[in-house]
Amino acid sequence: MKISFLYLFLVLGSAGSAQEIKDTITVNPDTLHEWKTNPIVFADVFFGGAFGHSSGLVAGFSGNYQYKSHLFTARYTVLWEYQRVGRVIVLPVYRTTEELEEFALLYGYRTAKDYSAYSFSVGASVVHRDMYGYDNEGVQSKISHTRFSIPFEVSVKWFKKEKSPYHVYCVLPVGPPTGLGHSFGFKVVGNVGATTFIGLGITWGWGWHKQY
């Protein structure tokens, strides 16, 4: 009988200790973000105008990966400069005076909160430039060169705040809630080197723009 009472005492004591330990376990809400698993990976396209030693229409696309606040970007940019031929106003004719291609790798800082993100980056690039000339008879000549240069960009973007079904064409919802979605914003792009330009344009993106 003494052994039975002793056994019961030990069982009740262990249960009480376990309950006491359970009651003292707390979860810090500030650490919950560490459990989020989706990577921040997105691509975007942009279009706008540029000015500088090279000027005209500018467009391009980029792929981006963010780790903590570190942003890694691979960017392709093209720039076209045109010149109007003659004085025709109704249906003016233009000819190309310059074409520029940029292949760039950039590193920078990015912060994303709620439904917006801000970033700035700088890096290294290879720029190929074709410059066209025309004589009085309209015969074209071309001068080309390739140089290393320093690219940079600053952007602001807006995207969905919380997980929601993916929207095809930004209109038709399909599937379960997801962090995958679109973004819209503005971007300043530029390059400093043998030829220098700075451009401003709108950007449209697709991917996971923050941790959801």
Residue 83: inside a domain, yes or no?
Answer: yes
Residue 184: inside a domain, yes or no?
Answer: yes
Alpha-carbon distance of 16 to 19, in angstroms, equals 5
| Cα 115 to chain centroid, rounded | 14
SS3 state at 55: coil
What is the pTM for the complete model shown? Answer: 0.78
Percentages of the chain per state (helix, strand, coil), in multiples of 5: 15, 65, 20
**Across residues 172-192, what is the average pLDDT?**
94
Angstrom distances, CA of residue 128 to CA of 36, 65, 173: 42, 26, 42
Residue 14: inside a domain, yes or no?
Answer: no
Q: How many domains does the chain have?
A: 1
Which H or E run includes 13? helix 2-24
Query: What is the tens place of the pLDDT at every residue in 16-44?
Result: 444 443 444 454 555 444 455 799 999 99
- Whose tokens are 């970007």? That residue is 73
Query: What is the tens place of the pLDDT at every residue in 56-90?
Result: 999 999 999 999 999 999 999 999 998 888 776 67
The whole-number pLDDT of residue 36 equals: 59
More confident residue, 211 or 25: 211
Residue 1: inside a domain, yes or no?
Answer: no
Q: Tokens standing for 56?
A: 């005209």
Q: What percent of the chain has pLDDT over 90?
A: 66
The whole-number pLDDT of residue 23 equals: 42
Residue 19: inside a domain, yes or no?
Answer: no
Residue 34: inside a domain, yes or no?
Answer: yes
Backbone angles phi, psi at 37, to 5 degrees: -110, -20
Whether pLDDT at 155 is above 60: yes
**Mean predicted lDDT score pLDDT of the chain:** 85
SS3 state at 212: coil
- Is the separation of the CB atoms in 128 and 146 below 8 Å? yes
Q: For strand 197-208 and strand 40-52, is the pairing parallel, antiparallel, or unpaired?
A: antiparallel
Nearest to 188 by CA among 40, 42, 43, 58: 58
Residue 20: inside a domain, yes or no?
Answer: no
Whether pLDDT at 11 is above 90: no
- Is the separation of the CB atoms in 27 and 5 below 8 Å? no
Nearest to 72 by CA among 109, 112, 33, 20: 109
Whether pLDDT at 12 is above 50: no
- Output the domain CATH number for residue 191: 2.40.160.20
Residue 167: inside a domain, yes or no?
Answer: yes
The whole-number pLDDT of residue 35 equals: 52
Residue 88 CB neighbour total at 10 angstroms: 9
- Could you tell me the residue range of the domain that residue 107 belongs to? 30-208
